[in-house]
Amino acid sequence: MNRSNPLLRLLSLGQSFWWDALSRRDLKNGEVEGMRDRMGMRGITSNPAIFHRAIAKSTDYDREVRRLASDGLDREAIFWQLAVEDIRDACEILRPVYDASEREDGYVSLEVDPRLARNPEATVAEAHRLHDWVDAPNLMIKIPATPEGMPAIRQVLADGISVNVTLVFSQEAHVEAMRAYVDALEERHRAGKSLDSVASVASFFVSRVDSLVDSKLGEEQSGLRGRAAVANAKLAYRNFEEFFRGPKWEGLSAAGARVQRPLWASTSTKDPRYRDVLYVEELIGPDTVNTMPTVTVEAFADHGEARADAVREGLREAEELFAALESAGISMAAITEQLLEEGVEKFEGSFEALLDSIDEKAKQLAQG
């Protein structure tokens, strides 16, 4: 390994780098192993938009799409067949990380059908279906942190399935995700079931917060721009450290439980005026994960600065910023609620676009 690569220093500072990308081409050409072995990648996350890019915008899946369509599978069945194959292969590549880290890392995340975000019963059933289909211990099922999703998250965890709680924007939703996790662990503990076989992360989205907040600020408030996302995440991390302490948690920890780590998601910088590794450098700290798209991986490897405990810095300034935003008429509660709704809609839209593209591709391939 190239020890001068700042990505490789993250682990010594308590943070795991996961890759927010997945495609069959990268699975077959050695890119995933390269990310693991040369860049220190310790997990993979996927979502409908990632699968859309991989399947619809390449020819890598054409032969399989044609075969499955000719076998009579509809577009949804084709998608899940392709996705499960990719996820299973990724789980196999990351299994050594999972084993060596004693189940701390090495996970691959697969999201339930985003159209089920408001249907907890169907979400639980879908989580079990995908978990059984992939059949890998290092699979994480992604479930959105909608109000309806929280009971599903708790149930799936209590059933022994690891969960990536996605689309977390607010500190309140983050606390609810942590509570659902601990409640599930307590249920398993009372039933005499293992705790060390269940893992969870809370995917706390970052850059989208700045994008929306900045759009609502006038020129006279320019000093507040580009700061809300990091402040929101740092205060969430403080809540995390406070949540996982005390006698109740110590009892669960002694029984084998591990904390639900904050996973910083949406970490590519959307505004070119901001440093392109802003959402990595400012959020480094113990018991955290940062899932980065390829462009951010390359940027941080090139010129990132890995600073210990960066996520614990500037908490007073974060509180003062939130007060200033409220004075400027910016409600963070309204901001994060809007982002959750938009996030669910975007994933639904990406999923529908993906299915449409598979349908169109299957028709074109059938016509030669």
**What's the CA gap between 228 and 208, in Å, rounded?**
10
Query: Is position 57 annotated as part of the catalytic site?
Result: no
61-84 pLDDT, tens digit per residue, is 999 999 999 999 999 999 999 999
DSSP 8-state symbol, 303: H
For 96-123, the pLDDT digits (tens) are 999 999 999 999 999 999 999 999 999 9
Mean pLDDT score, 234-253: 97
Q: What Rg value do the Cα atoms of the chain yield, rounded?
A: 20
Query: Does position 147 have pLDDT exceeding 90, yes or no?
Result: yes
φ/ψ of residue 94, rounded to 5: -90, 0
Classify 6-366 by CATH class: alpha beta
Do 343 and 167 touch, CB atoms closer than 8 A? yes
pLDDT band for 255, please (50, 70, 90 cuts).
Answer: very high
CB 217 within 8 A of CB 223: no
User: pTM, whole model, 2 decimals?
Assistant: 0.96
Whether 1 has a pLDDT exceeding 50, the answer reads: no
- Helix then strand count (H, E) for the chain reads 15, 8
* pLDDT for the residue numbered 4: 78
Instruction: Tell me the per-residue pLDDT of 168-209, one tens digit each, with 9 for 90 and over.
Output: 999 999 999 999 999 999 999 999 999 999 999 999 999 999
Q: Is the pLDDT of residue 2 over 70?
A: no
Give the mean model confidence (pLDDT) for residues 14-34. Answer: 97
Cα separations in angstroms, 285 against 4, 61, 244, 266, 308: 19, 39, 15, 17, 6
Domain boundaries, the chain: 6-366
The closest alpha carbon to 50, from 111, 135, 2, belongs to 111
Residue 29 has pLDDT above 70, yes or no: yes
Q: Contact at 8 Å (CB) between 277 and 310?
A: no
Residue 3's pLDDT band, with cuts at 50, 70 and 90, is low
CA-CA distance, 235 to 314, in Å (whole number)? 10
* The pLDDT of residue 63: 95
Q: Which member of 28, 57, 142, 361 is catalytic?
A: 142
